[in-house]
């Protein structure tokens, strides 16, 4: 039986998973909408992955989780590696593009830039405070224009004269957009303008002060948007590499980290019948009122977090 490794990336908008062999070859992959239900989505993801690969030839012996729900998912899958999405994305991309110098990453709610030298992350930045210029912003503007977000890219390419849209802030951008629609700008120009706005916002905020060197790899959900890819290459004057698995880099990276961790234990795919439940309780022992999240597996408390101090620590009883 050959060894395989599972990587799961649970983001705010989508949940991604891959199973790889010891040479980092992807044996199974899945991409689902998180829809505000990380636990349910992870369960569906696991059963989709289970059906895709030969369970008689391969055995999953390592699990890694990343993304904003990495901790919760890590507990549910009993992962041996729980890693932040910045490191995971870098590791995933470097495994496919060892020469990469710059990674642009735009996801549902966040965006980051990672600078690499000789296969090592040397600098990074991630958006703070504001989600302008991320996938969620594009999706909501697409809805306003009555366009599917998937049609966004091809429509943008039809424009010869992208509309200028203020990109400093999602709220300003939206009112600017409304005004420009109402005074008669063409739809394709508006859409192309939005793609450009995302890129300008990204380079002015996340990319501020960073030396962008080629090769540049662009990934995250928004990298599927051909309009944004074009805007990036127009502004940087460089070729923008987008892998056909660009949405899976975080999952791939954390699967590789699980492989490297060398803590092997067999993974059980039958988690569909296990009942996982989370409950939030307010600590109330001081005015901080920390909200403590308790995770239950078939009624047993298996983990808890969210307390700022020891007073709020919840003891986990040994299971008999």
Partner 1 sequence: MKNKKKVSFPHLGNYWVAIEFLVKNALDADYIIPPPITKKTLELGSMHSPEFVCSPFKYNLGNYIEALEAGANTLIQTGGVCRLGYYGELHEQILKDLGYDFIFINLAKVSYRKPYTLFSDFKKINPRLSISKLTNYMSLMIRMVKIIDKVEGFIRENVGFEVVSGSFDKLLKEFLEALRKVKNKKDINEIYYDYYKQFKAIKIKKPKKPLKVGIIGEYYTIMEPFSNRYLEKELAKKGMIITRTMNISNSLFLRREKDVKTKIKGYLQYDIGATGMDTISEALRLAKEGYDGLIHVKSFGCMPEVDAIPVLQNISNDYKIPILYLSFDTQTSETGIKTRLEAFYDMIVMRKEKK
The answer to whether 171 contacts partner 1 (rule: CB under 8 A) is no
What six digits make up the tokens of 132? 């302008």
Place of tokens 């991320």: 134
Touching partner 1, residues 226-285 (CB under 8 A): none
Could you tell me the smallest distance in angstroms from the CB atom of residue 215 to partner 1? 19
Give the one residue of 13, 32, 39, 125 binding partner 1; rule: CB under 8 A. Answer: 125
What six digits make up the tokens of 208? 């501020």
Give the one residue of 23, 120, 266, 299 binding partner 1; rule: CB under 8 A. Answer: 120
What six digits make up the tokens of 266? 């067999």
262: left (phi over 0), alpha (psi -120 to 50) or beta: left
Could you tell me the smallest distance in angstroms from the CB atom of residue 128 to partner 1? 6
Could you tell me the smallest distance in angstroms from the CB atom of residue 123 to partner 1? 5
Touching partner 1, residues 63-82 (CB under 8 A): 68
Q: Which is nearer to partner 1, 45 or 283 (CB)?
A: 283
> What secondary structure does DSSP assign to 141-195, as a single string?
HHHHHT--GGGHHHHHHT-SSPPP---S-HHHHHHHHHHHHHTT--HHHHHHHHH
Q: Which is nearer to partner 1, 107 or 162 (CB)?
A: 107
Binding marks (x or -) toward partner 1, 129..168, rule CB under 8 A? Answer: x---------------------------------------
Q: How far is the C-alpha of 86 from the C-alpha of 47, rounded, in Å?
A: 27
Give the one residue of 126, 149, 169, 261 binding partner 1; rule: CB under 8 A. Answer: 126
Contact 112, 206 (CB under 8 A): yes
DSSP SS3 for 292: strand
Task: By CB under 8 A, name the binding residues for partner 1.
Answer: 68, 83-87, 118, 120-126, 128-129, 208-209, 211, 286-289, 308
């Amino acid at each position: 039986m050959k060894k395989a490794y599972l990587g799961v990336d649970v983001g705010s908008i989508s949940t991604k998973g891959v199973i790889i062999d010891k040479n980092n070859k992807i044996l199974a992959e899945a991409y689902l909408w998180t829809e505000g239900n990380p636990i349910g989505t992870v369960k569906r993801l696991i059963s989709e992955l289970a059906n895709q690969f030969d369970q008689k030839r391969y055995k999953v012996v390592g699990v890694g989780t990343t993304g904003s729900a990495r901790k919760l998912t890590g507990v549910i899958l009993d992962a041996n590696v729980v890693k932040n999405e910045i490191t995971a994305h870098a590791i995933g991309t470097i495994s496919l593009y060892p020469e990469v110098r710059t990674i642009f990453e735009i996801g549902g709610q966040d965006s980051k830039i990672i600078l690499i030298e000789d296969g090592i992350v040397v600098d990074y930045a991630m958006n703070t405070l504001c989600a302008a210029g991320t996938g969620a912003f594009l999706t909501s503007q697409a809805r306003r224009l009555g366009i599917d977000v998937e049609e966004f890219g091809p429509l943008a390419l039809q424009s010869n004269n992208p509309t200028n849209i203020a990109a400093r802030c999602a709220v300003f951008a939206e009112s600017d957009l409304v005004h420009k629609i109402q005074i008669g700008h063409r739809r394709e120009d508006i859409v192309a303008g939005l793609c450009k706005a995302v890129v300008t916002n990204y380079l002015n905020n996340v990319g501020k002060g960073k030396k962008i060197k080629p090769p540049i790899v662009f990934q995250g959900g928004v990298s599927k948007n051909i309009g944004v890819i074009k805007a990036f290459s127009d502004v940087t004057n460089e070729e923008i590499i987008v892998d056909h698995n660009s949405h899976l880099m975080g999952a791939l990276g954390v699967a590789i980290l699980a492989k490297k961790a060398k803590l092997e234990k067999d993974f059980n795919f039958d988690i569909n019948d296990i009942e996982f439940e989370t409950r939030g309780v307010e600590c109330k022992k001081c005015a901080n009122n920390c909200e403590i999240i308790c995770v239950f597996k078939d009624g047993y408390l298996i983990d808890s977090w969210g307390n700022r101090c020891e007073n709020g620590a919840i003891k986990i009883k040994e299971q008999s």
